[in-house]
Amino acid sequence: MLAASGKLDRRELTRALLTDRGEMLVIAGLGAPAWDITAIGDCAENLPLWGGMGGAAMIGLGLALAQPKRKVLVITGDGEMLMGIGALATIAVQKPANLSIVVQDNEHYGETGMQETATRHGVDLVMMAKGAGISNTMFVTKPDEVPALHKAIHAGKGPFFAVAKIDATSKPLVLPPREGALLQARMREAVMGPAAHHQL
């Protein structure tokens, strides 16, 4: 799971996190996380974001509150999480036990030219989450820590927040459907049943 850089391979990390996912709902921030969950296996329980940078955690919160019996996992990047950092305060106050957020931190804005993000210069997203009031956190840098990360995601003792340091190398693109209305509708039907589209 380690890349040549000594950091985690992001796609293999995603594969490990989605193993035995059951009925878990997955929100992926725009860019690499969306490509990765699609590469592992596109399905109706996935909502890969094509836009709305900074919104992944809040979409995950809304879904977790609306579906308290379903585990919800947000996989996003460091740039996207930095843009939506205020979400952590709201998540901490709402305390959804079924919500986990994993930030795949390559210290770069991968979709806009690999500019360095603030985490490249010492900004600590785990400490920011703790400061917001999220006490259940992890910082992952080694493959042997991934099983514990997987266990924490599935434990249902959220809100849970983790940062995993990943290699910045690009991966082959595996693109999900481009139509946002389709992605939303298929998840809605997966959660609420075939009649859900009549309730829109």
The tens digit of pLDDT for each residue in 64-75 reads: 999 999 999 999
**Dist. CA 52–CA 76, nearest whole Å:** 12
Instruction: Assign 120 to helix, strand or coil.
Output: helix
pLDDT at 196: 56
Tokens of 193: 């049943």
Residues shown for the chain: 200
The tens digit of pLDDT for each residue in 18-66 reads: 999 999 999 999 999 999 999 999 999 999 999 888 999 999 999 999 9
Backbone φ and ψ of 9, nearest 5°: -75, 120
Give the alpha-carbon dihedral of 150, 32, 49, 37, to 10 degrees. -40
**Dist. CA 6–CA 3, nearest whole Å:** 5
Residue 200 — very low, low, confident or very high, per pLDDT cuts 50/70/90?
A: very low
**Dist. CA 110–CA 116, nearest whole Å:** 9
Question: Please, what sign has the CA dihedral across residues 44, 50, 52, 53?
Answer: positive
The tens digit of pLDDT for each residue in 118-170 reads: 889 999 999 999 999 999 999 999 999 999 999 999 998 989 999 999 999 88
The burial class, CB within 10 Å (0-12 / 13-18 / 19+), for 194 is exposed
DSSP per position, 53-77: TT-HHHHHHHHHHH-TTS-EEEEEE
Tokens of 16: 């490990």
**Dist. CA 137–CA 4, nearest whole Å:** 27
**Dist. CA 55–CA 110, nearest whole Å:** 17
